[in-house]
Amino acid sequence: MKKLICISAIALFFSSCTLSYDFTVTNNAVGTKKGVSEYKYLFGSIPLGSGLQDAGYQSAAKNGGITKIGLTETKVVSNGLVIKTTTTVYGN
């Protein structure tokens, strides 16, 4: 019984949960280019990784070489300890 409880607790701890999922549409064409930016942090405040991380629309558009944004997608996922925000931008 203790093994079952322990395995269940570990599975729950490492499972991932989508907290937020958002789409934004503009009047521009969706286009063929895609840009992605992400930000990971521990307990909601301690940045993970090296350097400055940015999960904004501007950095995602810059990463994809997009000047006119047609569609944006923002997803926030958490596994209990680490929260990851990913912004995806589509356009031309």
Q: Between the CA of residue 42 and those of 16, 18, 39, 79, 82, what are the distances in Å?
A: 14, 16, 10, 10, 5
Residue 8 CB neighbours (<10 A):
10
Q: What is the pTM of this model?
A: 0.73
- What's the CA gap between 60 and 51, in Å, rounded? 16
What stretch of H or E contains 23?
A: strand 17-25
Give the whole-angstrom CA distance, residue 92 versus residue 28: 9
Can you give the pLDDT at residue 4? 81
Average pLDDT, 10 consecutive residues per value, the chain (92 residues): 79 69 84 92 77 79 93 86 89 93
